[in-house]
Amino acid sequence: MKQLIVLAVAVILGLFFYVFGISNNVQNQAQRNIATYSNPEIGLEFNYFVGPSGYVVEESNVVNTVSGLVRTIVLIRSEDVNRNIPVGGEGPATIALQVFKNTEKQTPLAWAEKHIQFSNINLKIGNVVEVVVGGAPAIRYMADGLYASDNVVVVNGDYVYLMSGMFIDAESQLRKDFSPLVESVHFVPVQGTDVQGKLNINAICEGALAYMTFPDGSRADAFVAECKEGKHPEVIEQYKLQMGLGDGASL
């Protein structure tokens, strides 16, 4: 009889905690509203979660003329914002976005390899993968450091956008939230620039390689050369469409 009572109590407690866990998870998900970060000064928009189980945006426009850094955007989990972190203590894992002027017109990989102090590509785990983010050429890779991180480097227009999602636990919510943020990225015309002005034909034609495959490097080089000569106008039109540029934008 006692064994039956103990078993019944165990079943009831198990059911209670199961239902409580589901209820708590549903409640947390209900608190995850979506907000949009938009900044025409750097031509960037993206979506992120807000609320008690979302993030708070902190932004800095401290400029580093050596590296070309013009903006830093950090998404901190709401639950970490009010934590009392000791001076010199280890800060929480975050999602960080840094924006740099691409003065040398480098590709994502070339920029990352030259700026390892920001990209951490020298600490990469596994392969570097070519991807497309917001219609622009990009690379993605994992890196190890104080925190493991999922990293994306995007080149668009005159800027390089470095996005890093840090995490300790591979199953953490922060890591799960990083990919939706990257997938939501949208590039907008940069404020203060003349969208009816000149387009950078070199950057556009070279960037088009991210969408295409060729049997060898010589074929890819030939395509870029032809594109620069105006033999592939569809590449220019596709770029103008993605960037929201009017018909007045010219080469």
* Of 111, 101, 116, residue with least CA distance to 138: 111
pLDDT bin (cut points 50, 70, 90) of residue 145 is confident
Give mean pLDDT, residues 141-167.
95
Reported confidence tier of residue 24, pLDDT bands at 50, 70, 90: very low
Q: How confident is the model at residue 96 (pLDDT cuts 50, 70, 90)?
A: very high
What secondary structure letter does DSSP report for 19?
A: H
Q: What class, spelled out in words, does domain 33-80+91-187 have in CATH? A: alpha beta
Lowest mean pLDDT among 42-46, 109-113, 222-226: 222-226
Distance CA 129, CA 138 (A): 8
Strand blocks (E) in the chain: 33-39, 44-50, 55-60, 69-77, 95-101, 124-133, 136-143, 148-156, 159-167, 186-187
Largest CA distance in the chain: 90
Q: DSSP letter at 8?
A: H
- The least confident of 162-166, 175-179, 225-229 is 225-229
Of 3-12, 202-211, 238-247, the range with the lowest mean pLDDT is 3-12
Average pLDDT over every residue of 233-244: 74
pLDDT at 16 over 70: no
Mean pLDDT, residues 155-172 taken together? 93
- What are 32-72's pLDDT values in tens digits? 799 999 999 999 999 999 999 899 999 998 888 888 999 99
How far the first Cα of the chain sits from its last, in Å, is: 88
Question: pTM here?
Answer: 0.67
The residue-averaged pLDDT of 202-228 equals 83
Alpha helix segments (H runs only) across 122-232 = 173-183, 201-207, 217-228
19: pLDDT strictly greater than 90: no
Using the predicted structure, report yes or no on whether residue 98 has a pLDDT greater than 90.
yes
Judge whether residue 25 has pLDDT over 50.
no
Q: Return the C-alpha torsion angle 22, 28, 34, 38, nearest 10.
A: -140
